[in-house]
Amino acid sequence: MTLEELSHYNGRDGNPAYVAYKGVVYDLSQSDMWKNGEHQGEHVAGVDLSEALQHAPHGEDVFKGFKEVGKLEMHEKKIPMSRQELKLKYTITSKEKWRRWYQIYHPHPVTAHFPIVLHFFAAGMDIAFIFSPLEKFEQGTYYAFLFATLFGLIAMISGILSWWVNYNFNVIRPLVIKLYTSIFTLLLGIIGIVLHVLNPMIAYNSDALALFYHFSILITVPSVIVLGYYGGRLTWWRQTKSDTEIANHLHQESVESKFLLHNDFTIMIGGSAGSGIKTIETLLSDVFASMGYYVFSTKEYMSRVRGGSNTVQIRVSDTMIKAPKWKPDLFLALDELSVSHVKDRIGVDTFVIGGQNEKFSNHLQISLQEEAKKHVTKQFINTFAAGMLFGLLKLPLEALENSLKKHFNEKDHEANLEAIRQGHMYAQSQNIELKKFPAPPKKSGEPMRYIDGTTAAGFGFLVGGCNSVTSYPMSPSTGVLNFLAGLSKDFEIAIEQAEDEIAAFNMVLGVWYAGGRGLTTTSGGGFALMSEGLSLCGMTETPAVVYLAQRPGPATGLPTRTEQGDLNLALYAGHGEFPRLILAPGDALEALELGHLAFEIADRFQVPVLYLSDQYLADSVQSILKVDFELFSQKRYIVKSQADYLRYKITQSGISERAIPGYGEGLVCCDSDEHDERGQITESYKVRESMVDKRKRKLEQLRNVAIAPEIIGDGNIAIVGWGSTKGAISEVLSQLDDSRLTQVHFSWIYPLNKGHLSKLSDMDFIIVVENNSNAQFTDLLKLSDVKVDATILQSNGFPFFSDILVDKIAQKVKELS
């Protein structure tokens, strides 16, 4: 049954009352709650209630016991039937924008409260006047009534707007009652005021007109009660915000934490791979979050499974921070090797614990392994060290104990708790003064959350509707594959490990072609193999999403380290010319948000979307606010084909309706050769020209919906970054506290929108910060005629450290100005 057909079963005029829920159509004619096809005066029969039920006080079990009479044809409601409708769907008109704004801020309940209160006040005054006819009571009555009526008019207008915005002028009982009652109230108001204007002394009279005057004032009270009552019963749909709006909204939230100076304490721990360094990282991130702190942690590891020397850095702060530091406040060496490994990173203020072969100015020169062995056993060095840390920082042991209990198997509790206590006691006996530990931030009522860039991206793809992942494993991208594979039991996600990246990407195309939403995860080398398929994707206009987590190349490069070196690869991969989108998130929240956007855009514009992350962002953990997944739009752009369906129909936007095989009457033909509208191979130069043009128009469409760079500050020196440099740059700018500096962060990398770049041309100086040696994004900006004055580049395999970047930026600013 289609939505069209369903609408006939509205329960009126002897028709049965059917409603659809999650694709199933139920017959509710026999329900007492659905007399005349109406339910609670709010809902009517003959429609799909899937969405509305989410706002209902009861669950879906209410349909139990009713007869299933059919299935609602999926997607029917999402299919635009004509070019006109299609266009409407794709372009948000200013009317639509306004409508969305109105839905989000919904002023009607606010405007309605004024007149209600005033009407009560007027009636109260009038009663007082009737008992003691004083002039002040008469005046109070009249002016309260006058303003009540005026505000009532405003409330009515806003109410009608809400009716249109939320209910599309659908006739449902409470709204009709509200409409009649408010007209009635308004008329009484006007009559009362007119009577008073004609005869200002009317209240003192006792003729019929005077009686009517008092009546009009008193009777409005019950009528506003009716208005308020039905108003309260209505569900004002909260509209799902559009993607760009979400982006802006989320950005605003992060702006607040910008330029707030933070107090933090940076702890670094070094040890060999497999020595449990990961355990201590999890334990500490967790305990600090549970104490209400913002945490940031990042690791640096060698490309091996056991041995070597790795570090984790945990920063604990009273405000959001999203960058690592080169020199920690405290370094905890689990073994000797780690001390020599990080020697360069020990600052004059760094307190070093452990390591006997080197000597530092602030140093507890012990062997942690020996101490652990002395107090517990060597095996518990991690928890011993954690306890020690808490002792040194004078933090409550209880919090640590609680976290430990949650992370360890019950059988390991006792020994580890003992190790913590021993470590704590040992530290206290040492009499060491460390840099002041920040006080926890004010409690917001919301518990602190933290997430790594991999998981954040994974959730983004999930809320983007990703339901297939086909990949060949490659660090540092594999985390997303693992994450989604792990969730494939809870969600419908088809996972397949491909024989190579070529297959992985071609599988993605097969998935999308047949109606799925496919993702592949890879890094530079693997993506290079996908270039050929990317070109096919462009030609066949099949959507695709690639999660490309960069690591330093060329070739195998530094497999476990970070770089932003694959922008040019992403920009130019694939033979021939075709549109593509490149996104690069700057932090965990953006990672999530852009994951959703990647799928939305891929589907809507039928282009490949390349999502550029990097090892640093993928592996670092940061605090994140609660994300409301309901806010993300869940649009689907598949149409049911007609018999004469043309896959590559020429349209003004360049986007042709996308049907899939097996859904509808038509056939879906995609061709890697140049093709005509049917998808049939052709060598006609005319068809070629029109198809090249069509594909090109999609690029322009993409440009139009581009997300503007995030701009923080209003100085005239721009510090420009893209992708994962965001956190480091913003920490630096907050430290420098120089009003001339403005952060400009790009997460929508290509195609750039000229309008967005015009803000850059107003700047006196532009400094671009990039984690590569060829200034690849700078080149892209230059192609768009942006004049770049200086670059700060790095390609040593590390992310940008805020305490190093701060000097570099200060230096460049000094040179330029």
User: Residues 74 to 133: which contact another protein by CB under 8 A?
Assistant: 74-75
Cβ-based burial of 562 (10 A; exposed 0-12, middle 13-18, buried ≥19): buried
| Least separation in angstroms between CB 494 and another protein | 4
Q: Which of residues 673-692 bind another protein (CB under 8 A)?
A: 673, 679-681
DSSP 666: S
Q: Which is nearer to another protein, 68 or 630 (CB)?
A: 630
- Determine the size of the site formed for another protein (CB under 8 A): 76
Closer CB to another protein, 333 or 631, in the complex? 631
What letter represents residue 583's amino acid?
L
Contacts of 759 (CB under 8 A, 6+ apart): 709, 711, 744
Q: What's the closest the beta carbon of residue 165 comes to another protein, in angstroms?
A: 23
> Among residue numbers 386 through 415, which ones bind another protein (CB under 8 A)?
403, 406
Kindly tell me which of 80 and 797 has the beta carbon lying closer to another protein: 80
Please state the length of the chain: 817
Quote the least distance from Cβ 470 to another protein, whole Å.
7
Question: What's the closest the beta carbon of residue 512 comes to another protein, in angstroms?
Answer: 8
Find the binding residues for another protein in span 292-351 (CB under 8 A): none
Positions 271 through 290 that interact with another protein (CB under 8 A): 286-287, 289-290
Report the candidate in 635, 636, 634, 638 with the shortest Cα–Cα distance to residue 662.
638
* CA separation for the pair 347, 344 (Å, rounded): 8
Whole-number Cα distances in Å, 85 to 77, 80, 81, 643:
12, 5, 6, 20
Of these, 60, 76, 412, 532, which contacts another protein (CB under 8 A)? Answer: 532
Q: What is the dihedral of CA 143, 145, 151, 156, to 10 degrees?
A: -160
Q: What gap in Å lies between CA 351 and CA 653, rounded to an integer? A: 61
Query: Is the Cβ–Cβ distance between 478 and 486 less than 8 Å?
Result: no
Is 203 an interacting residue with respect to another protein (CB under 8 A)? no
Q: Is 723 in the site for another protein (CB under 8 A)?
A: no
Q: Does 672 bind another protein (CB under 8 A)?
A: yes
Q: Is 578 in the site for another protein (CB under 8 A)?
A: no
**CB of 184 vs another protein, minimal distance in Å:** 42
Stretch that binds another protein, among 113-121, 377-385, 489-497, 609-617 (CB under 8 A): 489-497
Q: Which of 669, 757, 793, 804 binds another protein (CB under 8 A)?
A: 669
Select from 32, 492, 714, 737 the one that contacts another protein (CB under 8 A).
492
Q: Which of residues 624-663 bind another protein (CB under 8 A)?
A: 624, 627-630, 634, 636, 638, 660-663
Residues 6+ apart with CB under 8 A from 387: 397, 400, 419, 420, 421, 422, 423, 424, 426, 427
> In this structure, what token pair is assigned to residue 237?
């749909």
* Other CB atoms within 10 A of residue 45 CB: 27
- 536 is a contact residue toward another protein (CB under 8 A): yes
* CB neighbours of residue 636 within 10 Å: 15
Instruction: Return the residue matching tokens 């979307």.
Output: 609
Q: Which is nearer to another protein, 139 or 488 (CB)?
A: 488
Cβ proximity to another protein: between 645 and 748 the closer is 645
Among the listed residues 16, 70, 174, 510, the single contact to another protein using CB under 8 A? 510
Least distance to another protein, CB of residue 589, Å: 11
Nearer to another protein, 469 or 718 (CB): 469
- Work out which of 4, 499, 689, 764 binds another protein, going by CB under 8 A: 499
- CA dist 567 and 460 (Å) reads 21
Q: What is the dihedral of CA 183, 189, 194, 199, to 10 degrees?
A: 150
Among 174, 557, 664, 797, binds another protein (CB under 8 A): 664
Q: Judged by CB under 8 A, does residue 512 bind another protein?
A: yes
Contact between 508 and another protein per CB under 8 A: yes
Window 410 to 449, contacts with another protein (CB under 8 A) = 447, 449
Instruction: Please state the closest distance from residue 587 (CB atom) to another protein, in A.
Output: 14
Q: Is 60 in the site for another protein (CB under 8 A)?
A: no
Residues of this chain, 218-237, that bind another protein according to CB under 8 A: none
Contact between 169 and another protein by CB under 8 A: the answer reads no
DSSP 263-309: -EEEEEEEEEETSSHHHHHHHHHHHHHHTT-EEEEEEE--SSSSEEE
C-beta separation of 764 from 287 below 8 A = no
